[in-house]
Structure 1
């Protein structure tokens, strides 16, 4: 079956096989419906989890016996790291987060951030390299991860900074919205091709090409 990115809490993962990377997407917490992504290097078997959002009972079996090298927390909001402490305790994974959000993540979870990252840093999962893209606005330290597949199109994990239909919530803060829409425009849409597939923190996936025609509408409406 082909990958769609449509998952539901309590349902099975949706799996996408790239040449070098396996992507497994699951949803956790029926109310919040957070997406979590397990990335597995197909050459080495090393694994990385994007957002230990909730339900260790779902995430740890997904990790399985192969172990977990890294957990990347895309931003500091509580619904994206509720399982962080339990997942790290069970796996020994190191924790990566955007530098401006790192202290808040530790304060909320009791888990130390092993590596605080910023724009242009890289995170590896086995033989695969993910580039960190800083996208301030939803939170000061929100980050996205870019995998530029050498055998295909780019893949982008956006946390809560970009969704099908708009940028992330800036909670009525006009300055934060202007910051986020500018960062998303310049760092994502101006740089990456229409074929870039992105994986958000909640809901279904999309491509930059599908969303690009609506950037002006998003700016005008202010959210």
Structure 2
């Protein structure tokens, strides 16, 4: 699967599956209008499962996960990233994870308590696999990315709505928020991680840091 994975999915279409040494990544898109990406990570040693963004369509996500989810991570507080959280949590009883500054907003919107509030450098486990939290403010105050440093390959990074192919996430005309976002994406992601890092955003297709790196000055100059 590794050789054929492209990250191209369509809402309610077939998932894209990537097999790493200790981790299986399944990407699935929901909602034709918003085209949110949901990512199911499965530890191949223990079978533990972690879902990144229960964005919508709880029945489809229940089928995707087999009704077993140990952890649900919500990358940020925006409504389109947690519409299925309440329904999935009611059945699977997972640990729920979100960035500290966004946790109250997520809980208020969904009625689901955030059982673990995380910040920069915290580790979230899916079975034997460790995912490092990278806090990236700007799109929302508590947006988080998750980094898997594959010992047998390149890094993998789930970016929520903080980084996409072609630019950083929306800051809705807020110049200060944009400055924060572009600064943190540059220093915490591009300055730290190698070109071969593959990243998985909250909407649309994937990319690598190497494919986007040369565009950073252009993004900064245009202000979005």
When normalised by structure 2's length, the TM-score is: 0.98
Aligned CA RMSD, in angstroms, stands at: 0.6
The structural deviation recorded for 1:194 is: 0.1
Cα-to-partner distance string for 1:27-50 (whole Å, 9 max, x where unaligned): 000100000000000000000000
Moved over 3 A (4+): none
Is the aligned partner of 1:58 residue 2:91?
Answer: no
Distance 2:151 2:127 in 1: 15
Is the aligned partner of 1:122 residue 2:119?
Answer: no
Give the unaligned 5+ runs of structure 2: none
Cα-to-partner distance string for 1:58-98 (whole Å, 9 max, x where unaligned): 10001015x11000000000000000000111111110000
Is the aligned partner of 1:43 residue 2:56?
Answer: no
Distance 1:33 1:118 in 2: 27
Distance 1:192 1:169 in 2: 22
Distance 1:90 1:16 in 2: 26
The aligned length equals 222
Distance 2:50 2:12 in 1: 21
Distance 1:68 1:14 in 2: 19
> For residue 21 of structure 1, what is the aligned residue in structure 2?
23
Give the alignment of 1:70-219 within 5 angstroms: 70-219=71-220
Secondary structure of the equivalent of 1:136? coil
Distance 1:9 1:162 in 2: 20
Distance 2:182 2:65 in 1: 34
Give the unaligned 5+ runs of structure 1: none
Distance 1:91 1:6 in 2: 28
Secondary structure of the equivalent of 1:75? coil
When normalised by structure 1's length, the TM-score is: 0.99
